[in-house]
Amino acid sequence: MTSGKEHDKSTKIWSIPFALLVGLLVDLQSGVISWAAFLTGGLWLSPDLDTNSLALKRWGILKYLWWPYQKIIPHRSIFSHGPFIGTALRVSYLLSMIMIFIFIIQPSEFSGLLDTAGFISKVVKQYQKDCLAVLLGLEASAWLHLIKDGDPMPQEWSKRSHK
């Protein structure tokens, strides 16, 4: 199992060749976006947010946003370390927390949540290629994390395949 410092070092190193590859295959802008997303995914949206990790500590006082996630998601489960599922769950969780925060700020206006959901939908439709570059960067950093842990499949999948 790789330490948090090793995960961080690998994320920083591998973000560059990943961005260059995306930049060559798509375009420069997508390369830069995927580089930033790769770093964000590895350093702030790590599969280890369900533990007291370096990624969690980076959130500072906002690390408490992840407390429910930590209580619900078992470490190295399909929901934290599952390819595609883990990243989708962390991003969805974070977006949900943002929407809850907006609702708390504007409790009398349920439309604020709908406005936020509509805004996200508009951004995704208008900037499809950029959103894809973000998703690729986030997911690639998660795969790097899983590979560095030595087993890219969550514990549940590994147990099933060894029976």
Q: Rounded CA gap, 73 and 80, in Å?
A: 7
Q: What is the pLDDT of residues 17-60, one digit of tens each?
A: 999 999 999 999 999 999 999 999 999 999 999 999 999 999 99
Q: Please, what's the b/e burial string for 38-76 (b: 16 or more CB within 10 A of its CB; e: otherwise)?
A: bbbbbbbbbbbbbbebbbbeeeeeebebbeebbeebebb
Q: What is the pLDDT of residues 58-83, one digit of tens each?
A: 999 999 999 999 999 988 888 998 88
pLDDT band at 154 (very low <50, low <70, confident <90, very high): low
